[in-house]
Amino acid sequence: MSRENVLLLKSVFFLSVLTSVCCLYEDQIGKFDWRRSFVGKLQDGFFDSVGNDLVLVTAEEGVVAGLSAKTGDIVWRQVLERSPRGDIKHAALYMDTQSAPPQSTLLTVTGHSPALIRGWNPTEGLMMWEWSLTSHYSEHKEDLWFTENLMLYHVIPFWESHIEVTQYYAATGQQMKPGSSKISAAWLKKDKCVLAQPFIVCAIENQVIGVNLVSDNGRLFSKTLPKSAQAAPMPVPGLRAAIFVNNELISLEENSFSVNLVENSNWHVAEIENKQVFLQSVVQEGNLKIIATDLVTGQSRGDVEMTVPLPDSLGTPTIKAVKCRRKTDSQPLACRILLDTEDNSIVLLQQGKVKWTREEALSHVVAVEMVDLPLSDDEGAIEDEFNSKDGDFFGAIARRLTSQVFQVKNLFLTVLGLGSLSTSSRVDLLVRDSFGLHKMIVLLTASGKLYGIDNISGKVHWTKFLPEIEDFTDNQSMKLIIQRTAKHFPHPAQYAVVGKQRNSQNGIMYQFNPVTGEAIQGGIVRLSHGIQQMTVLNEVESENFLRALLILDENDKAHVLPDSEKSQANEMFLYTVKTEGIVKGYHVEADKKDVTAKLIWKVDLSGASNSHVIDVAGKNPTERVHSQGRVLSDRSVLYKYVNPNLVAVATFGLDSIHKYVINVHLIDVVSGSIVITLTHRRARGPLHMVHSENWLVYSYYNDKVRRTEITTIELYEGKIQANSTVWSSLSNPPIPMIERQSYIIPANVFAMKETITEKGITNKDVLIGLSTGAIVEMPWALLDPRRPVTTTQNQAREEGVIPYIPELPLPSESVINYNQSIARIRGIYTAPSGLESTCLVIVHGLDMFVTRVAPSKTFDLLKEDFDYFLISIVLLGLTVASYVVKHLASRKAVKQAWK
C-alpha cells in the first residue's frame, strides 16, 4: 500500500471518531458562578497527633474531613452514605505504635445492621480498611460503641435485663474471643443511663450504679447521692470513667478530683504535658473565658487560661479538642482549642485569639430569598426629582437643575483627581446595577442564623444569630417573609423571620433590613399565641408600602400584624394542611377593630389507607404568565387553565394490595373543590413537586420496576376562554382538560425547581438536582405532556413538539455546575433578574452553588466577544459617508438645475 493511501486511511479513521462536543471555556469557569463547600454541624474533633497541621472532624451530616489548622480550609473531605446508613455512631483517633513509624488512624462507625467500621488516613483522607458487622438484633438500634487500646467494643443494652458486650480488633474486625459477654443488669433504665468509657452507668433516684464493660468479671460501681438525681448522668468529654450528676464530678474508678465548677459553663478535660487539665468555658460580658485547673491538685493553670472577645453572631461555645505544646523548653506554652458553637460554627482559638471561623450553619439552609440592592446616590437623586406628590412644577425644575449642577461638580472634581467616582460606577459597593444581576442573598439556617451574602462574589456581608427562634415542628421549619421589597425608594427593604419561641409554643417574629442586617423597630416581636398558618397580605400600606402579616393561631383565631392594618385582611382566604391528611379552608372577615376566620370547607385526604401528606406545592406568587394560550397546528388556540388558587397536595399510604400508594391532588383552596387526583400504585418517595402556570411536574420512585420516574400534567380550559381578565374560584370555573405523560429519568432526584423571569416571556426550564451532585437544566419541551407517540410532520413543525420517548436524556452540556458537584442537595432557589433572559439560581445542600441560567439564550444581551471597536469604526464610516454623499448629491442637483 502506498504512503498516500495510508495517510488517507488514517485521516478517514480520525475523522470518523470526531464528534461534536459542547464545553465550557476555561476562562469562563467561576466567572458567573461560585461554590462554597462545608462539612456540616460538628460532631467530634481531633488534632492530628502525628505532627500534621490538621484538625480532623466528623459531622452529623455523615462527613469525615480534615481541616487546615492554619486557615480552616478543607484539605480533604469524605461524604458518607445518606442517613441513616451514613450516621456516624462513634469516632476515635488512636495511635498504632506497633507500626514503623507509628501511624495514627481515624476510626468511624456508621449505620446499623450492617454497621460499617472504617479506618481513615488522617493526612490524605484515604480509607485504609473497612469491615462490616451485622447485628443479631436488627430492630435494637440503641447500641453503643467505644474504643480502647486498639480494640473496639460493641455494647447492646437490654433495658431492665442485661448488657451484651462484644470485643473486636479495630483494624481487622476479628473478635477477641468467640461470642459476646452477657452482664446481668436489672437496674438498667432507659433515659437514666449513659456510657462513660469503659463504664455504663445509671442514676436512679439517689443512687449511681455502673458496671465496667472491659473487666472480665464486670466490676460494679455503686454510690449513694445526697439527693435524687434530677436528670441522667453526663459523661465528661476527654476524661475516662467520670460523670457529672447533680453538678458534681464523680469518678467511677475511685480517683480523687479537685475542681470548682463554674455556673453555666461547658467543660472538657485535656492532657497537657502529661497532666489532666480540667477546662471550663463560660461567656461573660461578651467575652469567652477559658478557665483551666489541674484535675488532681486543683491548681490554676494560667498558661492555658485565656479570655477571647466573642462576636455576637456566635452562640454558646463548647470545647471539642485541645492541643498544647512548647517549641522549646524556654518558650511559653502555646494552645489551640477547637470550639463548636450553638449556631453551628467551628472556631479555632490560638494563643488567646480567634484563628479562624467556619460558618457551617450554611450547610443546612431552610429558607432563601434574594433582595434587590438599594439605588446609588445618583439614581436616588433622580428619584427625588420626581418624588413630588403635590404637582409642584417649579419645584421639580429646581430639583432637576440642582441635581445636574451637583453631577457636573462631581465629574469636574473626579477629572481633577479631587473627588471619587460616583457610587453607581463602583462595583465594590452594595448598589443596584443596570441589569439587576447584583443582589443580596438572604439565607435562614436550621440553627436560627441569618446570613447576607453577595451573589456576585460570595462574600458574607453580615450575620445574625437568633437564639430565641426555633422551628414550628420537626416537619415545619422557620419561615422567611418579605414585607417590603427594595423598589419603594426611599423606604429600605424589610424582611421578617417567623418561628416558634424557644421553650414556648407561642410565635415570634424578627424584623430586619436584608441589605444591612440591622434590626427594624427593635427587631424581636413576641406573640401571645401560637401560629398554625400565616400569609402576607396582597395589599400594601399607602404610606410606607409595608405588607401586613395575617396569622391563624392554634385556636383558629385570626390576627394581623401590625394591628393597624386589620382592614386589609377582609375577604381573604386561608388554607391549612395537616400531616394526617386534613385540609381546611377559611374565609377571613375584618374591619378596623376585629378579625375573624370562618371555616368554610374541609377535605379528608387520608382515605381508607390512612395516607399522610408528604409534600405541598403552590405557585410562585411573583411569577407572571406571559401567554394565556397555546397555538395548535390548525391555528386554533388552546387556552391555559391558569388558576392562581390551585395547590398540589401529595399523600403517601400503605395499601394491602399494591403495598405503596402515592396520590397527588390538585385542590382549589378557595372553594375546596378537588380538580384532579392522580394515583400511582407501588410508588414511594422521595417525592419532589414543581407547580407553575398551568402545569405540574413531580418525581417519585416506582417500586415495581425499581426506577425514578417523572410525571407531568398540563391543564387547559379548551378553545374558549371563560374569563380573560380576573380569575374567580367562586364563579363555578370550568372543568379543565388534562394532558398527562410520564418519563423515566436515569438518576435519583434530590430537588426540582422551575426557572423564573421578570415578565415570563422566556421559556421555562426545570432544574433537577441529582444524587450525583449535578444540576441538570431540563427544557420543558422534553417534559411536555403533549409529546405524541405518533405525530405528523405538520404537527411537529407547527407546534414544536418532540415525539415521545420514555427516557429523558441527561447530556453533560445541560449540567449547569459542570464539574463542581454539590454534595447532599436539599433545595434549589430561583429568582428573576433585570434581564428578561436571565434567571438567578442558588443550589444549597452540604455545599452551596450560585450561578445564572438563560433558558432562551441571552437574546437581550450582547455577547462577551462583541467587537465594539469594529462596530464603532463602521458606524463612524457610515456617518462620514452619508455626509459626503449628501454633499455630492446637492452639487449634482445644482448642476442639473443650471443645464
Condensed to tens digits (0 to 9), the pLDDT of residues 330-341 reads 888 889 999 999
Specify the 3-state DSSP secondary structure of 399.
Answer: helix
pTM: 0.89
Of 696, 712, 695, 719, the closest CA to residue 631 belongs to: 719
Radius of gyration of the chain (CA): 34
Separation CA 310–CA 352 (nearest Å): 11
Range 492-495 contact pairs with CB under 8 angstroms and sequence separation of 24 or more: 492/374, 492/516, 493/371, 493/372, 493/374, 494/520, 494/546, 495/369, 495/371, 495/442
Task: Quote the pLDDT of residue 193.
Answer: 92
Say if residue 347's pLDDT is above 60: yes
Q: Which residue has the cell 427587631?
A: 523
Separation CA 899–CA 885 (nearest Å): 21
Count CA atoms within 13 Å of residue 362 on its CB side.
25
Separation CA 782–CA 803 (nearest Å): 9
Task: Answer for the pair 551, 570: CB distance below 8 angstroms, yes or no.
Answer: no
pLDDT in tens, 740-789: 999 999 999 999 999 999 999 999 999 999 999 999 999 999 999 998 88
Specify the 3-state DSSP secondary structure of 792.
Answer: coil
Task: Quote the pLDDT of residue 448.
Answer: 93
Average pLDDT (9-27) is 53
Range 772-776 contact pairs with CB under 8 angstroms and sequence separation of 24 or more: 772/747, 772/821, 773/817, 773/821, 773/822, 773/823, 773/825, 774/810, 774/815, 774/817, 774/821, 775/815, 775/816, 775/817, 775/822, 775/825, 775/828, 775/841, 775/843, 775/849, 776/810, 776/814, 776/815, 776/816
- Range of weakest confidence among 49-63, 236-250, 723-737: 723-737
**H/E segment holding residue 25:** none
Q: In the structure grid, which three cell numbers stand for residue 365, read together?
A: 439552609
- Range of weakest confidence among 112-126, 395-409, 495-509: 395-409
Neighbours of 895 (CB within 10 A): 9
**Structure confidence at residue 26 as a pLDDT band (50, 70, 90):** low
Separation CA 664–CA 687 (nearest Å): 10
Average pLDDT (811-840) is 93
pLDDT in tens, 666-719: 999 999 999 999 999 999 989 999 999 999 999 999 999 999 999 999 999 988
Whether the bond between 101 and the residue before it is cis, its omega within 30 degrees of 0, is yes
Average pLDDT (466-476) is 90
Q: Which residue has the cell 383565631?
A: 557
Say if residue 6's pLDDT is above 80: no
Say if residue 20's pLDDT is above 50: no
Task: Answer for the pair 253, 201: CB distance below 8 angstroms, yes or no.
Answer: no
Say if residue 427's pLDDT is above 50: no
Task: Quote the pLDDT of residue 103.
Answer: 82
Beta carbons within 8 Å of 772's beta carbon, 6+ residues apart: 747, 821
Task: Answer for the pair 270, 278: CB distance below 8 angstroms, yes or no.
Answer: no
Say if residue 415's pLDDT is above 70: no
Average pLDDT (633-652) is 91
Say if residue 247's pLDDT is above 70: yes
% of the chain residues with pLDDT over 90: 55
Between 7 and 227, residue with greater pLDDT:
227
Q: Is 78 exposed, middle or buried (0-12, 13-18, 19+ CB in 10 A)?
A: middle
Of 144, 147, 158, the closest CA to residue 187 belongs to: 158
Task: Quote the pLDDT of residue 98.
Answer: 66
**To the nearest 5 percent, what fractions of the chain are helix, strand and coil?**
10, 45, 45
* Alpha helix positions (H), 360-472: 377-385, 393-415
* Phi, psi angles (nearest 5°) of residue 375: -70, 155
Say if residue 3's pLDDT is above 80: no
pLDDT in tens, 528-564: 999 999 999 876 666 788 888 999 999 999 999 888 8
**Structure confidence at residue 99 as a pLDDT band (50, 70, 90):** low
Task: Quote the pLDDT of residue 562.
Answer: 85
Beta carbons within 8 Å of 541's beta carbon, 6+ residues apart: 547, 548, 565, 568
Say if residue 732's pLDDT is above 90: no
Beta strands in 791-882 (DSSP E): 827-832, 839-844, 847-853
% of the chain residues with pLDDT over 70: 91
Chain-wide mean pLDDT for the chain? Answer: 87
